[in-house]
Amino acid sequence: MANDGHSRDPSGAGKAGVKPGGRGRVTLQIIADRLEVSTATVSLALRESPLVADGTRLRVQQIAREMGYSYNRSAASLRTDRTNILGVGFHDITNPYFAELLAAIEETAAAHGRSILLGTYAENLQRQDRVLTTLKEYRPDGMIICPAGGTTAETLQHLMAAQVPLVQLSREIPGIGLDFVGSDDRHGTVLAVEHLLGLGHTRIAFLGESPLISTGRNRYRGYCETLAKHGLPLDPTIVYSAYGTRENGLKGVQKVLDAANPPTAAVCFNDLTAFGAMLGLRHRGLEAGSDFSLIGCDDVQEAAQWYPGLTTIKNFQDEMGRKTAEMLIRRIADPSAPSQRAVLTPELVVRGTTAPPKAAR
């Protein structure tokens, strides 16, 4: 049937300048014209305002979805000086510890009407600078940062100069005066070493000594101080220096086993290092728990799923992530408030990878 030029589009999609299949941006005015309401009503309905009747609000939201309406965040941020975005800069999200932190941050941010924008940079300072600069260009209301190894106060100066509200998470830059949320890492390692000493171990290795990060320094300090407290010497041949990864755990445990006087147990920088060490032991025909004792740190969900289950230090990632997001939201609301530090107390979780040394059984 020929089109006589007067047929109507039953969907109304061609009204107010919106062409079917076209890419014209749908505005509040177009939706208002379609529904024959004011732009103020449309705006309130899309923001779930109780001032709009339920029926009207649902109708507006349905039509907005059908027409492909997209919220113009840039324009809104210019009006309100807020983007409702929290930037998050992590050096690693392949580590489940940071994935669990990120999940808690995102959940808390969403509960406060915020979204997160994530950037990652490994342990690379140049990449970190590019990523944090890019995040800053999106004008987040504030940022959460777990800095790469070797980061200094000068590294973050461009963010501080731009007056971006910042909270440090897990890793802390000394003397910078920024808010911080993390764990008492020294105390966690003290718990780990004391547990092994209590089982009868006196040759205890440390896998993952990493002086470029605060967590590495603090955990290693707890190791050294606890050995000294019990009159045990610090033996560099059973200390493996590297970032905490599965690969380094595998390499590290084999290196310390080759020492002239090998250890019977090891404290690992984190759970990933311990997982790698468990595999490294199997390469030597040994099993964690029965032949060699291992303790991790973080208590990621995977730790309880290994066989044997990993004895570890619980750092309460859910609480840490939640507290970090909440602290940043408070900092955004009150930029001039005194800086705050929230340090969680870790706990020892005993599972199957620790036991008395074989010679004592």
| pLDDT value of residue 280 | 98
| pLDDT value of residue 66 | 86
Q: Which of 47, 79, 81, 84 is nearest to 328 (CA)?
A: 84
Which residues of the chain fall below pLDDT 50? Answer: 1-23, 78, 80
Residue 273 neighbours by CB distance under 10 Å: 31
Cβ(150)–Cβ(125) under 8 Å? yes
**179-193 tens-digit pLDDT:** 999 999 999 999 999
**30-69 tens-digit pLDDT:** 999 999 999 889 888 887 888 889 999 999 989 988 888 7
Cβ(33)–Cβ(69) under 8 Å? no
- Reading the block at residue 44, the tokens are 């309130």
The answer to whether the pTM exceeds 0.85 is: no
Interatomic CA distance for residues 160 and 155, integer angstroms: 10
| pLDDT value of residue 72 | 60
Interatomic CA distance for residues 150 and 39, integer angstroms: 52
Q: Which of 156, 174, 173 is nearest to 165 (CA)?
A: 156
Interatomic CA distance for residues 61 and 280, integer angstroms: 56
Residues present in the chain in total: 361
Cβ(299)–Cβ(268) under 8 Å? no
- Reading the block at residue 203, the tokens are 């040759």
| pLDDT value of residue 73 | 55
